[in-house]
Amino acid sequence: MIKRVVKLTFKSENINTFKEIFRQNKNKIASSPGCLSVELLQCISEPHVFFTFSIWNSEDALNNYRHSELFRSTWTRTKILFSEKPEAWSVNSLERIMG
């Protein structure tokens, strides 16, 4: 299992457009083979900065999604809204402590 974190920084005037694109596609993304969950996070101190946090069965499942028509069409609509280049990390969970 891998976790994917993507940092997305938008022009302020494009925030609502991005939220609508995400709303329209979140269930389709979550239904992609191998996707266990998708979460959208918004920075408190910088509300034009968002993160997507997704969990995938494997790197192959993530890569299959990244090469899908769903990703291409969503990314095409989203990337024109950015104010900065997006950043992405695929990570493994080493430890999790819950109180």
Spatial strand order of the sheet with 35-42 comes to: 35-42, 49-56, 2-9, 87-91
The average pLDDT across 24-45 equals 97
Which is more confident, 99 or 17?
17
pLDDT average, residue stretch 34-52: 98
Rounded Cα distance, 30 and 26, in Å = 6
* CATH level 3 topology of 2-91: Alpha-Beta Plaits (3.30.70)
- pTM for the full model? 0.92
| Residue-range domain boundaries for the chain | 2-91
